[in-house]
């Protein structure tokens, strides 16, 4: 693909983020935090927040037993968009 008026070539990447929060690899998130020089105490707090969550699913209007998710980020959590940006920054680095 050529840019208009430019002789240089470029590559366009379209990412499909609809289910992206569910597919975030937590190990990658923690590695990215270390690579971006986050404090170890901060990383421990984030691990604690992610590991302390439990989920229950409604089946025919009745909740099931609670279980702890092992991957992904919780939707509607105020911290999630910021953590997702860290993961996307890693993806941008791979694409570059």
**Residues near 91 by beta carbon (within 8 Å), at least 6 away in sequence:** 15
First vs last C-alpha separation in the chain = 17
Residues (pLDDT < 50) of the chain are none
Q: What confidence score (pLDDT) does residue 5 get?
A: 67
Tokens of 12: 């366009």
CA dihedral 84, 90, 94, 95 (to 10 degrees): 50
Q: What confidence score (pLDDT) does residue 2 get?
A: 54
Q: What confidence score (pLDDT) does residue 28 get?
A: 92
- How far apart are the C-alpha atoms of 95 and 91, rounded to whole Å? 6
Q: Look-up: residue for tokens 């983020």?
A: 17
């Amino acid at each position: 693909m050529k840019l208009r008026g430019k002789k240089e070539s470029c590559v366009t990447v379209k990412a499909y983020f609809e289910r992206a929060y569910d597919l975030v690899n937590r190990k990658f998130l923690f590695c990215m935090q270390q690579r971006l020089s986050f404090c170890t105490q901060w990383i421990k707090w984030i691990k604690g927040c992610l590991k302390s969550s439990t989920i229950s699913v409604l089946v025919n209007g009745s909740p099931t037993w609670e279980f702890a998710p092992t991957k992904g980020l919780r939707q509607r959590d105020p911290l999630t968009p910021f953590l997702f940006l860290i993961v996307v920054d890693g993806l941008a680095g791979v694409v570059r």
